[in-house]
Amino acid sequence: MTQATKVSKPILSIEHVAVRFGGLVAISDMSFGVKEGELVSLIGPNGAGKTTAFNVVTGFLRPTKGEVHFRGAPLHTLKPHQVASTGLVRTFQKTSLFSSNTVFENVLTGMHRHGSISAWATLLALPSLRREEARLRESAWEILDFVGIAHRADELGGSLPYGEQRLLGVAVALAAGPNMLLLDEPAAGMNPSETAEFMSLLTRIRQRGISILLVEHDMPLVMGVSDRIVVLNYGKIIANGSPAEIQANPEVIRAYLGQGVKHA
């Protein structure tokens, strides 16, 4: 296999996925992929099926038909914790933090997947346990510094301003050591300055080799960070292309973006 073939092969592949709730069709027939190192945005009007798509990919919802593969392995039969263990980690529209724990403790909790200490080492308080704890704490500090909220480490997660709670959600997701992040409206509640900083954070995350699938309503952000954009409308993909192609697509403009997209 050539290097070019490796680069072009999707790390995440969604193939003919449909989701029906009784007579309601949430997704009719959805197929797209995300390549290694790529940032793909999934956009569309409210109710288009974006969060349903995220729930299918991450094991919170079984598709009525179709398949999802991550690095060639099927995901559509797995439970959420099993999906996360493959290296695919998501954030949520509503922050799901431990609000009564500190910011640092939240990130430390997210690192549980990396723990390699046996029960005996814990019970006997062996030196290996202390070394492991020191390693995890150092990593937690590095992540907090990376996302820009290290100065909030000792504050309670629930006391942070909403924009910083979103950043903490990303930090907790990064603590799980993902190969790919699914970010569900991560910039919601951020002011323009915070959004600009978040765009920079997305660039730095990608520089770590982490692929990203993004659901976001902030069109300047989407157009500024995406390699490719997939547009959902009424549970069906109506466009899949570069930001420039999406901005110029008449069907997308009619369905969702409006004439103002040309200036987004």
Cα–Cα dist 57/106, whole Å: 24
pLDDT at 128: 62
Q: What is the CATH number of the domain that holds 103?
A: 3.40.50.300
pLDDT at 45: 85
Cα–Cα dist 221/208, whole Å: 20
Cα–Cα dist 213/75, whole Å: 16
Give the residue from 219, 215, 230 showing the smallest Cα distance to 257.
Answer: 219
Task: Say if 16 falls within a structural domain.
Answer: no
Task: Say if 157 falls within a structural domain.
Answer: yes
pTM for this entry: 0.85
With vertex at residue 218, the alpha carbon angle to CA 152 and CA 53, rounded to the nearest 5 degrees, is: 95
Find out whether 59 and 77 touch, Cβ atoms under 8 Å. Answer: no
The owner of tokens 């709730």 is 21
Amino acid at 252: V
Backbone angles phi, psi at 258, to 5 degrees: 80, 170
Can you tell me whether residue 258 is helix, strand or coil?
Answer: coil
Q: What is the dihedral of CA 100, 102, 107, 108, to 10 degrees?
A: -100
- CA 141 to mean position of chain CA atoms: 21
What is the number of domains present in the chain?
1
pLDDT at 8: 63
pLDDT at 127: 63
Find out whether 53 and 232 touch, Cβ atoms under 8 Å. Answer: yes
Can you tell me whether residue 133 is helix, strand or coil?
Answer: helix
Amino acid at 153: A
Q: Which residues pair with 13 in a beta bridge?
A: 33, 69
Task: Say if 204 falls within a structural domain.
Answer: yes
In order along its 264 residues, the chain shows pLDDT tens digits of 333 334 567 899 999 999 999 888 899 999 999 999 999 999 988 888 898 999 999 999 999 999 999 999 999 889 988 898 899 998 876 566 777 889 999 998 887 655 544 444 444 455 666 777 788 889 999 999 999 999 999 999 888 888 888 899 999 999 988 999 999 988 888 889 999 999 999 999 999 999 999 999 899 999 999 999 999 998 899 999 999 999 999 988 887 766 444 433
Token readout for 90 is 């998501």
pLDDT at 4: 39
Task: Say if 27 falls within a structural domain.
Answer: no
Task: Say if 32 falls within a structural domain.
Answer: no
Task: Say if 10 falls within a structural domain.
Answer: no
Cα–Cα dist 232/48, whole Å: 6
pLDDT at 189: 81
Cα–Cα dist 69/108, whole Å: 29
Task: Say if 180 falls within a structural domain.
Answer: yes
> What domain range includes position 187?
37-59+79-263
